Amino acid sequence: MENVKLTIDGIEVEVPVDYTVLEAAEVAQIDIPTLCYLKNINQIGACRMCIVEIEGMRGFVTSCTQPVANGMVVKTNTPQLIEARKVTMELLLSNHANSCTTCVRNTNCELQALAKKLNVTEIEYEGEKIDMMLDEISPSIVRDPNKCILCGRCVAMCKQVQKVGAIEKMNRGFNTVISGTFNMSLANVNCVNCGQCINVCPTGALSEKDNTKEVWKALQDKDKYVVVQTAPAVRAALGEEFGLPIGTLVTGKMVSALKKLGFDKVFDTDTAADLTIMEEATELIERINNKGVLPMITSCSPGWIKYIEHHFPEQLDHLSTCKSPHQMFGAIIKSYYANKINIDPKNIVVVSVMPCVAKKFEAKRSELSVDGLADVDVVLTTREIARMIKQANIDFVSLSEEQFDDPMGEATGAAVIFGTTGGVMEAALRTAQDLLTGTSVDKIDFTEVRGKEGLKEATVSINGLDINVAVAHGLANAEKVMKEINDGTSKYHFIEIMACPGGCIMGGGQPIHTAKEISSIDIMGLRAKALYDADSASKIRKSHDNPAIKKMYEEYLEKPGSHIAHELLHTTYTKRDLYNK
């Protein structure tokens, strides 16, 4: 590709001809302020923070939309530019809710940080403010339009990356608002609760529904036996909330913190991930051998489940009937485990710490209960549990490491990689190959299903049987796979789909990073590496070799796919229209 040379603040830089001035400035290591910009997703110049001066052009131009040209001379920090950005910020703040100290994004807000950087100490343009209604009907996401700056990042993420389109800019002028279709609540449209909109919002306009008060109340109730379980992706990201480098594995410190909070037992959702593989691999083999509905698609991601219910309801039979791991674990805790410790399941409170806000919606589904008791009572995100740890004044970084509680804390390396795209597929293949061959096969790593590509495919030969598999993450990629199934052109036997790009490690409940950090740091890669490293270090790396799972089947579940296993560990799905009905 042809390159061009331009000068930015006196620095000559050579970049490809299709670059923008903002991208060229990044190459020159010159920082231009941005607010609405989200690399490769939202480049609309709406916020006017990235304005620059270009010799030969009248007025200011937005660097995120301005193409480079040979010989271009750019200035990014003249007194006029600095003043213009400051005035724009004051105008933004003039119609913004002044509740920074009580906002969930306080000290982690891009608007707040930029206002400080621009030295905005007072607002000269105080005028009428629109007081809009809080949308908090959804069990997963809270939308506060009074904190919205109309940057459009959430809309771009929902439309372009997730291909859902549940939110849009409505009305015009001063009355513009980002809302659900026809100004409806997110609870009443085709929102899949993935929370990717939260992770790209620069302010507190979008946040998860906070359930920490429910957990504090349960912990204080002497009549309740409160059990907590943690998803694999949480341990790869929780440390970021306490200043540790991205991708730091904090399993032991996390367990220690949860015990200090007062939970009666701290269990590992990875145990249930191994249980999921036992049921899922068995279901896949039965479908292949008995000419059942193929391809079979994983059912671990609640955002993906709600997406297919809305957008491809006629294809629900392709879903595995397995519950997601934390829901399976909740059902086991309130049956098998309750029997072992002789406690009435009605007195057990199961709390799931998840990287995902869609899990909050999932836990409320009537299908995910046994004998009238919900499998999981409360779901907290990684961010929420971090807030609880801080609220309890626990010095997380200095904590010693502790182990998960027995007898439900044992898990394999196959389970821990559930947290990243391709992990469920790889775990299932490890077990499927041993079940089909009747022996323990040396091959453990299925690297062909790893990686960041949005859609990966492979053919795995096991005992003379060629199994065509695919891995999709991000719902735009899920749409591609589902259209092939609709058209009758799909060649796959087994498909893994995760709603969030990157899988659970990049879930809507994980620690939030700025747009600049997202564009410059391989957050997905660092978190995934932490999980793959944990897998490699595990003594047991195949789900069916987990002694705790073997014992569970011997003592209670009988065998994978048994009648009692179906009662506790499997579920059904719901056909929905685009208005969540």
Is 280 assigned a catalytic role?
yes
Quote the CA–CA distance of 226 and 233 in Å, as a whole number: 22
Strand ranges across the sheet with 73-75: 11-16, 3-8, 73-75, 51-54, 61-62
Length of the chain in terms of residues written: 581
**Which residue of the set 55, 286, 314, 367 is catalytic?**
367
Determine how many CB atoms are found less than 10 A away from the CB of residue 547. Answer: 11
Is 362 assigned a catalytic role?
yes
Q: Three-state DSSP class for 28?
A: coil
Angle at 510 between CA 194 and CA 301, to 5 degrees: 40
Is 63 assigned a catalytic role?
no
Quote the CA–CA distance of 439 and 441 in Å, as a whole number: 6
Identify each DSSP E strand in 257-377 by its residue range: 265-268, 296-297, 348-354, 369-370, 373-374
Is 209 assigned a catalytic role?
no
Is 320 assigned a catalytic role?
yes
**Which residue of the set 265, 323, 359, 360 is catalytic?**
359
| Cα radius of gyration rounded to whole Å, the chain | 25
**Which residue of the set 300, 322, 356, 500 is catalytic?**
300
CA distances from 487 to 141, 482, 483, 490, 576 (A): 34, 9, 6, 8, 21
Beta strand 494-498 pairing with 465-473: parallel
Is 300 assigned a catalytic role?
yes
Look at residues 395, 383, 150, 160 and name the one whose alpha carbon lies nearest to residue 260.
395
Is 55 assigned a catalytic role?
no
**Which residue of the set 168, 241, 283, 426 is catalytic?**
283
**Which residue of the set 23, 110, 280, 410 is catalytic?**
280
Q: Three-state DSSP class for 13?
A: strand
CB 306 within 8 A of CB 578: no
Identify each DSSP E strand in 272-361 by its residue range: 296-297, 348-354
Is 126 assigned a catalytic role?
no
**Which residue of the set 53, 168, 241, 362 is catalytic?**
362
Catalytically active residues, by annotation: 280, 283, 300, 320, 359, 362, 367, 504
